[in-house]
């Protein structure tokens, strides 16, 4: 067993830097299945992972002592740290075996040393250390709390929404993914889940003293009412012990023994005393997952609002609930009055729109709530340390390419804007965002591991994979697996518990992907010559903006000589097609103001994700001139584009044809300000709080995508 586990761990570490996307994630999944089938192997696996972490730390310390100044080489030497930390955490949360105190202490000592490493390794090591110390004092608490949240077994609730982009996910692929994910709803039995939790906690706390088979049989005989009673008793014992800390560990074990004795003796029927010393596997059940095809921009808002009101039925009166639903419908009018692209109809205000005046002004404390979130994110405060009353969590997983992240960015901005006017969701929900790249099975296979950032619709998934190799291994590698899932669906092969690779990986992502990579959003204000609804449209993008003059668009793909000749002929006597003003950022970080860009007929603006690592938000701008030899590229933070000679632009956001705008005469592009920070008017000039809060105001709105390692600008 030791040799087999060692080989699997070594193969897993080698796989991280591999470029074979079709095999990525399989080894981690196989290791997880082996652990579920053989719980006793968890102790050995923890020892192997601990040894590898020690080797990583020693190698890093040796390079530092030798004065190695190559930062890239140092980062590559630490690439295994994040996967090992998450493997360690997942083994401990699943382990139903008693982990020796000496092994716990060795793990804590190793993690304490890793805290001195640079971010994100230190932040993940610290979060893992806190979780393991909690599990050390209260064995079984990580498993119990995670399952209780996912299965809605206590006051806190969680819900997983998987939103698929129909532009990428065809109807047949939607059916295949939906059928696969719906396995999580099959045989959802609350009593069986509670039985597993009780058995797991008793095994983790009592070890060989736990008569596993007797407990399992007794719980089945006693029925729902008694199972519920023992489950609640364990929850109360855990909560009390976590408050007491390390000093209550012995008392906690005594209470577990008491509950164990009651369960075994409570059954009036005879229990078969076989395999009493063996540990029974108790794999974590699947969470509550809802698969949704994302058609309308407000689908996300409606899902979150309905979930919020379902979780908190007593937080407002029936009349208040109705008003919130009305507000949900009416607020769409304001955010969509200009339509989504050229083909979307303009929504007219409803007759109930005037009822919004019935809401009271937002309290000062509510105005600070969104700002407090920004401060906590700015200072790296993790969720487990936050003292807030929002006990419900909505986990939103979007599936698609860069286009679906563009829609998510727009929806996220809309939520922040609505919350800044009337606090609805923020007080009730914690929102967590996840991203799974997905390709249409009808298109040629693409590899999202390392595509070209300038022309690929997977530029953001590529960036996430570069900054987080564990995300690249487990999430970017799912694209091939989803294609195989589609093929199985076409052959009428039903998913079984043994081939749920996508579902198992999704659950792993939701449970371990607790760190954030924050993508900056950019706003674009467009003035149109032939408005449909309103002359000015305010939009945003997260990866790419393309603007060109339709008269010259058909020239793309022709030879440069023919392009130049045709453009020159069309532009004679008319001067430049575009007037461009921007603030150029040089490598020396000096800024230079530039004016006109004569004879330009198009522009492509892309975000530079690599700039996130340096803490500076920047855009890469490519100008398309009349003479192809004059095409240039600059880096800037703001840009103004105006057309001349009665010409107009066609603007496409995030390569999404559904977000294309025509007849645009002027564009103003800049970083997107977080609507939740627009509270400056709430402070007077002499307010003492203003200097303290000023550094958090008017910050860029960042789209927080959960990954396995953090990256904060």
Q: Quickly list DSSP for 656-712.
A: EEEEEEEEEEEEEEEEPBPGGG--GGGS-TT-THHHHHHTTTTPBPEEEEEESS-B-
N- to C-terminal Cα distance for the chain? 44
Residue 507 belongs to a domain: yes
- pLDDT, residue 69, reads 54
Output the DSSP codes for 326-359: HHHHHHHHHHTTT-SSSSSPPPPPPGGGGGGGGS
Kindly report which listed range (129-133, 214-218, 371-375, 547-551) carries the lowest average pLDDT score: 371-375
526 shares a domain with 516: no
- Assigned domain for 346 exists: yes
- Model confidence at 185, in pLDDT bands (50, 70, 90)? confident
Is 132 inside a domain boundary? no
pLDDT on residue 676: 73
Banded pLDDT at 678 (limits 50, 70, 90)? low
Give 705 or 682, the one with higher predicted confidence.
Answer: 705
Residues 310 and 447 in one domain: yes
pLDDT digits (tens, 9 = 90+) for 132-147: 999 999 999 999 999 9
Has residue 123 been placed in a domain?
no
Sorting pLDDT into bands at 50, 70 and 90, what band is 405?
very high
CA distances from 657 to 440, 602, 666 (A): 16, 17, 20
In terms of domains, do 301 and 407 share one?
A: yes
DSSP string covering 159-219: EEEEEE-TTTS-HHHHHHHHHHHGGGGTT--HHHHHHHHHHHHHHHHHGGGS-HHHHHHHH
Give residue-wise pLDDT tens across range 17-39. 776 655 678 889 988 888 888 88
For residues 564 and 599, state if they share a domain: yes
Higher pLDDT, 691 or 482: 482
Diameter of the chain by CA atoms? 100
Q: Count CB atoms within 10 A of the CB of residue 110.
A: 19
- Position 396 confidence tier, pLDDT thresholds 50, 70, 90: very high
Cβ pair 21, 76 in contact under 8 A: no
Has residue 297 been placed in a domain? yes
Phi/psi at 527 (5° precision)? -110, 125
Checking if the pLDDT of 258 tops 90, the result is: yes
Handedness of CA 437, 483, 16, 85 (dihedral sign): positive
Number of domains in the chain: 3
Of 394, 495, 510, nearest to 184 (Cα)?
495
pLDDT computed for residue 392 by the predictor: 87
Q: Please tell me whether residues 319 and 375 are part of one structural domain.
A: yes
Say if 695 falls within a structural domain. no
Match 């000023």 to its residue by tokens: 694
Give pLDDT, residue 511: 95
Q: With contact defined as beta carbons under 8 Å apart, do 457 and 402 qualify?
A: yes
Q: Which of 252, 284, 316 is at the close of a domain?
A: 284
- DSSP secondary structure letters along 583-599: EEE-TTS-EEEE---TT
Its domain, for residue 661, covers: 522-671
Contacts for 314 with CB less than 8 Å, ≥ 6 apart: none
Query: Could you give the C-alpha distances from 665 to 46, 195, 643, in angstroms and in order?
Result: 62, 65, 5
Sign of CA dihedral 7, 13, 15, 17: negative
What pLDDT is stored for residue 683 in this prediction?
Answer: 41
- Choice among 48-52, 168-172, 252-256, 561-565 with the minimum mean pLDDT: 561-565
| CA nearest to 154, candidates 259, 241, 232, 263 | 232
What is the structure's pLDDT at 626? 64
More confident of the two residues 457 and 92? 92
pLDDT for res 281: 78
Q: How many CB atoms lie within 10 A of CB 58?
A: 11
Report residue 321's pLDDT band, with 50, 70 and 90 as the boundaries.
very low
How far apart CA 437 and CA 405 sit, in angstroms, is 10
Tell me what pLDDT residue 357 has.
41
Check: CB of residue 276 under 8 Å from CB of residue 213.
Answer: yes
- Please tell me which of 366-375, 587-596, 636-645 the model is most confident about, judged by mean pLDDT: 636-645
Binned at pLDDT 50, 70 and 90, residue 374 comes out as: low
Q: What's the CA angle centered on 327, arms 322 and 331, to 5 degrees?
A: 160
Give the CA angle between residues 173, 177, 179 to the nearest 5°. 115
Please classify residue 71 by burial: count the beta carbons closer than 10 Å to its beta carbon, then call 0-12 exposed, 13-18 middle and 19+ buried: exposed
Residue 466: pLDDT over 80: yes
Note the pLDDT of residue 486: 82
372, 389, 392 from 424: Cα distances, Å: 16, 14, 13
β pairing state of 591-594 and 619-625? unpaired
Measure the CA–CA gap between 429 and 158, rounded to whole angstroms.
Answer: 9
Q: Identify the H or E element spanning 62.
A: helix 42-65
- Pick the last residue of a domain from 246, 266, 284: 284
If asked whether residues 313 and 220 sit together in one domain, one would say no
Specify the CATH number for the domain of residue 580: 2.60.200.30
pLDDT over 90 at 68, yes or no: no
My answer on whether 242 and 301 are in the same domain is no
pLDDT digits (tens, 9 = 90+) for 407-462: 999 999 999 988 888 777 877 888 999 999 988 775 544 444 433 333 478 889 98
Residue of 289 and 366 predicted with greater confidence: 289
Mean pLDDT score of the chain: 78
- The CA distance from 685 to 490, in Å, is 66
User: Hey, is 540 helix, strand or coil?
Assistant: strand
Q: Report if residue 4 sits inside a domain.
A: no
Residue where a domain stops, chosen among 671, 690, 707: 671
The verdict on 150 and 176 lying in the same domain is yes
Residue 587 belongs to a domain: yes
Lowest mean pLDDT among 163-167, 500-504, 535-539, 589-593: 589-593
Q: Are residues 248 and 340 in the same domain?
A: no
Name which of 173-182, 270-279, 542-551 the model is least confident about. 270-279
pTM: 0.86
Q: Are residues 179 and 237 in the same domain?
A: no
Same domain, residue pair 479 and 579: no
pLDDT reported for residue 146: 93
The per-residue pLDDT for range 562-600, each reduced to its tens digit, is: 555 554 555 443 445 778 888 777 666 566 666 666 667
Distances (CA, A) of 145 to 286, 303, 570: 14, 25, 68
Q: Are residues 345 and 419 in the same domain?
A: yes
Output the CA–CA distances (angstroms, integers) from residue 265 to 597, 614, 681, 699, in the order listed.
86, 63, 67, 62
CA distances from 331 to 237, 276, 301, 355 (A): 45, 61, 10, 12
Distance, in Å, from the CA atom of 182 to the CA atom of 175, rounded to the nearest integer, reads 10
């Amino acid at each position: 067993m030791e040799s087999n586990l060692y080989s699997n761990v070594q193969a897993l570490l080698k796989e991280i830097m591999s470029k074979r996307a079709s095999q990525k994630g399989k080894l981690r999944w196989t290791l997880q299945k082996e652990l579920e089938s053989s719980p006793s192997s968890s102790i050995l696996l923890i020892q192997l992972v601990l040894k590898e972490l020690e080797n990583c730390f020693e190698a890093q310390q040796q390079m530092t002592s030798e004065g190695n100044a190559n930062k890239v080489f140092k980062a590559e030497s630490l690439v295994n740290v994040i996967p090992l930390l998450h493997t360690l955490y997942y083994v401990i949360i699943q382990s139903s075996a008693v982990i020796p105190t000496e092994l716990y202490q060795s793990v804590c000592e190793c993690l304490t040393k890793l805290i001195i490493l640079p971010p994100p390794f230190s932040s993940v090591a610290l979060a893992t250390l806190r979780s393991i110390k909690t599990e050390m004092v209260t064995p079984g608490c990580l498993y119990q709390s995670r399952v209780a949240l996912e299965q809605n077994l206590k006051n806190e609730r969680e819900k997983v929404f998987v939103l698929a982009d129909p532009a990428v996910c065809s109807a047949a692929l939607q059916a295949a993914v939906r059928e696969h994910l719906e396995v999580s709803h099959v045989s959802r039995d609350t009593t069986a889940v509670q039985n597993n939790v009780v058995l797991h906690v008793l095994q983790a706390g009592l070890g060989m003293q736990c008569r596993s088979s007797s407990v399992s049989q007794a719980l089945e005989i006693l029925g729902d009412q008694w199972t519920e009673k023992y489950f609640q008793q364990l929850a109360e014992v855990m909560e009390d012990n976590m408050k007491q800390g390390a000093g209550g560990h012995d008392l906690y074990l005594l209470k577990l023994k008491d509950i164990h004795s009651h369960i075994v003796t409570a059954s009036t029927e005879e229990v078969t005393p076989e395999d009493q010393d063996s540990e029974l596997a108790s794999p974590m059940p699947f969470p509550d997952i809802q698969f949704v095809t994302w058609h309308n921009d407000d689908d996300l808002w409606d899902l979150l609002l309905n979930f919020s009101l379902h979780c908190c039925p007593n937080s407002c009166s029936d009349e208040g609930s109705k008003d919130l639903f009305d507000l949900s419908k009416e607020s769409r009018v304001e955010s969509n009055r200009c339509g989504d692209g050229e083909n979307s109809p303009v929504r007219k205000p409803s007759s109930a729109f005037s009822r919004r005046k019935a809401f009271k002004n937002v309290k000062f404390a509510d105005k600070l709530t969104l700002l407090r979130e920004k401060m906590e994110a700015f200072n790296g405060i993790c969720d487990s340390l936050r003292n807030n009353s929002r006990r419900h969590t909505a986990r939103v997983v979007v599936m698609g390419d860069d286009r679906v992240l563009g829609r998510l960015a727009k929806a996220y901005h809309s939520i922040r804007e609505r919350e800044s006017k009337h606090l609805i969701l923020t007080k009730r929900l914690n929102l967590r965002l996840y991203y799974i790249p997905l390709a249409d099975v009808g298109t040629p296979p693409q590899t999202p591991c390392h595509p070209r950032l300038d022309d690929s619709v997977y530029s953001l998934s590529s960036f996430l994979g570069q900054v987080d190799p564990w995300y690249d291994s487990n999430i970017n590698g799912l694209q091939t697996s989803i294609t195989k899932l589609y093929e199985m669906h076409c052959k009428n092969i039903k998913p079984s518990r043994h081939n749920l690779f996508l579902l198992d990986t999704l659950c792993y992502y939701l449970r371990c992907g607790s760190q954030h990579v924050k993508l900056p959003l950019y706003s674009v204000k467009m003035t149109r010559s032939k408005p449909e609804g309103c002359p000015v449209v305010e939009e945003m993008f997260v990866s790419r903006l393309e603007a060109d003059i339709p008269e010259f668009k058909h020239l793309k793909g022709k030879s440069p000589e023919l392009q130049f000749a045709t453009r020159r002929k069309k532009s004679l006597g008319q001067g430049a097609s575009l007037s461009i003003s921007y603030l150029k950022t040089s490598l020396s970080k000096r800024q230079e103001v530039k004016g006109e860009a004569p004879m330009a007929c198009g522009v492509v603006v892309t975000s530079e994700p690599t700039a996130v690592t340096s803490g500076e938000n920047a855009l890469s701008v490519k100008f398309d001139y009349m003479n192809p030899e004059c095409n240039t590229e600059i880096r800037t933070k703001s840009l103004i584009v105006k057309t001349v000679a009665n010409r107009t632009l066609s603007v496409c956001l995030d390569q999404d044809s559904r977000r294309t705008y025509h007849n645009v005469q002027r564009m103003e592009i800049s970083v997107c300000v977080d609507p939740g920070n627009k509270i400056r008017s709430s402070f007077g000039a002499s307010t003492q709080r203003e200097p303290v809060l000023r550094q958090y105001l008017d910050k860029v709105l960042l789209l927080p995508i959960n990954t396995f390692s953090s990256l904060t600008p």
